[in-house]
Amino acid sequence: MARVSSLLSFCLTLLILFHGYAAQQGQQFPNECQLDQLNALEPSHVLKSEAGRIEVWDHHAPQLRCSGVSFARYIIESKGLYLPSFFNTAKLSFVAKGRGLMGKVIPGCAETFQDSSEFQPRFEGQGQSQRFRDMHQKVEHIRSGDTIATTPGVAQWFYNDGQEPLVIVSVFDLASHQNQLDRNPRPFYLAGNNPQGQVWLQGREQQPQKNIFNGFGPEVIAQALKIDLQTAQQLQNQDDNRGNIVRVQGPFGVIRPPLRGQRPQEEEEEEGRHGRHGNGLEETICSARCTDNLDDPSRADVYKPQLGYISTLNSYDLPILRFIRLSALRGSIRQNAMVLPQWNANANAILYVTDGEAQIQIVNDNGNRVFDGQVSQGQLIAVPQGFSVVKRATSNRFQWVEFKTNANAQINTLAGRTSVLRGLPLEVITNGFQISPEEARRVKFNTLETTLTHSSGPASYGMPRVAAA
């Protein structure tokens, strides 16, 4: 009889397992956006490298699954080089801290950066190697506030030439047709490696992740690159355990443009940037601007000295965003400033806090508050399409970046001069909320700001004040 009851408990376990599984499956598809509770998310995996680390958010978390994106943070130490890799998805990155250099290698485009001396391909030995001059594709300076669009399959590298860590956050659009694989982010390494493996992938046996050359036979690499077998094997980096962010030994002498606001160091560089040899591609893909800075208050969309500023970057500003179907918003508000309640009409938003902290409330389709809490530096929260959100700074300064899954994300506000309440006839408001015409007028017209307001002070108002931004 003991066996029978152990059998019974076994079957019960099985039943529970099965029901748990069924529930999980049912939730996964098609009800993956029934978000009854949101959380401020922190990275779930840390990949340590020689000169930095990569922090990865779990893209299976309901908020991110529903939004169809994954998210990562790159911390590159001084003199750290994030080795070139590419992804199966479009990517939008934001430089949260620090400064550095960035290069992308776009297929079919020319090496427009050439060293100033005459090109000297001939060299006989190490003694004369200093006479050789390099040529490569465009290198850009990046700094805090830069927002960088990257198309799938395009290799990109970063180098920290400053003193403080270079921190970059990136969103990866898994749900777009730009990603033609499944809904997982996949870095492909040209150099470097990831000894821990792709820990964010479920249902895959983890192996250390190697570079692409590693997968080919060394004789294939030798033949393709016309090099000897030994060098081919070195490209495979098999004994390398430095990860994907390595420390540069000695100077990092890549050809680079002068910093913004400086005079060009050498005339030839300027020429190199414009003197492209033509195959028709240059005017479109090769020369497409992919970077813009969102930290300059003088170009803000909303700027109120006492409250803060909001800047947006959409495909009207940066046309390549139309192609990658993402856009961004940068916000910076002072203590007790409030971003008026709003919802995203046609996008999910991924909000990442770069500085300070804020009190945030988020309301879902059922009219329930699914988040009411503090988010602070380094945390992330997703605001799904249609969900309303209000933000109030609770530290001296609250700064964040929002990535949106639409090249032209539209915001609707619940309060303010361009709000939905202003657009509704008074009769709709009086009948909808069962309030008097006088109350309805106050509801419609009292707040004259469009986006930012003070959140402190007593809440007693009688008539509209003078309009402001």
Closest to its own copies by CB, 121 vs 278, is 121
Torsion of CA 206, 207, 209, 213, to 10 degrees: -140
Residue ranges in 444-463 that form contacts with its own copies under rule CB under 8 A:
445-447, 453-455, 459-461, 463
Compute how many other C-beta atoms are within 10 angstroms of the C-beta atom of residue 291.
Answer: 18
210 binds its own copies (CB under 8 A): yes
Show the CA angle centred on residue 51, arms to residues 45 and 52, nearest 5°.
30
Cα 451 from Cα 340, distance rounded (Å): 5
Q: Which stretch binds its own copies (CB under 8 A): 92-100, 162-170, 172-180, 289-297?
A: 172-180
340 binds its own copies (CB under 8 A): yes
Residue ranges in 129-158 that form contacts with its own copies under rule CB under 8 A:
129, 132, 134, 136-137, 139, 151-155, 157
Closest to its own copies by CB, 63 vs 144, is 63
Among 329, 347, 383, 407, binds its own copies (CB under 8 A): 347
Cα 190 from Cα 212, distance rounded (Å): 6
Task: Name which of 322, 370, 379 is nearest 55 in CA terms.
Answer: 379
3-state secondary structure 68-85: CEEEEEEEECCCEEEEEE
429 binds its own copies (CB under 8 A): yes
Closest to its own copies by CB, 175 vs 355, is 175
Cα 70 from Cα 172, distance rounded (Å): 5
Q: Which stretch binds its own copies (CB under 8 A): 20-28, 141-149, 267-275, 395-403?
A: 20-28
Q: Which stretch binds its own copies (CB under 8 A): 92-100, 160-168, 240-248, 305-313?
A: 240-248
Closest to its own copies by CB, 75 vs 429, is 429
* CA 309 from centre of chain: 20
CB 133, CB 115: distance < 8 Å: yes
122 binds its own copies (CB under 8 A): yes
Q: Do strands 139-143 and 308-313 pair parallel, antiparallel, or not at all (unpaired)?
A: unpaired
Residue ranges in 250-269 that form contacts with its own copies under rule CB under 8 A:
252-255
84 binds its own copies (CB under 8 A): yes
Closest to its own copies by CB, 199 vs 378, is 199
308 binds its own copies (CB under 8 A): no
Q: Least CB distance from residue 155 to its own copies, whole Å?
A: 5
Show the CA angle centred on residue 199, arms to residues 194 and 203, nearest 5°.
130
Among 217, 258, 275, 297, binds its own copies (CB under 8 A): 217
Tell me the sheet residues that pair with 399: 332, 355
Closest to its own copies by CB, 238 vs 396, is 238
Q: Who contacts 165 (Cβ-Cβ below 8 Å, separation ≥6)? A: 52, 75, 76, 77, 78, 97, 98
Q: Least CB distance from residue 273 to its own copies, whole Å?
A: 14
Closest to its own copies by CB, 190 vs 288, is 190
Q: Least CB distance from residue 120 to its own copies, whole Å?
A: 10
Closest to its own copies by CB, 200 vs 400, is 200
Q: Which stretch binds its own copies (CB under 8 A): 39-47, 232-240, 287-295, 373-381?
A: 232-240
Q: Which stretch binds its own copies (CB under 8 A): 287-295, 303-311, 373-381, 383-391?
A: 383-391
Q: Least CB distance from residue 349 to its own copies, whole Å?
A: 10
Q: Least CB distance from residue 126 to its own copies, whole Å?
A: 6
16 binds its own copies (CB under 8 A): no
Closest to its own copies by CB, 290 vs 295, is 290
Among 37, 116, 223, 241, binds its own copies (CB under 8 A): 223
Residue count, binding to its own copies (CB under 8 A): 184
Q: Which stretch binds its own copies (CB under 8 A): 70-78, 141-149, 265-273, 363-371?
A: 363-371
322 binds its own copies (CB under 8 A): no
Closest to its own copies by CB, 361 vs 378, is 361
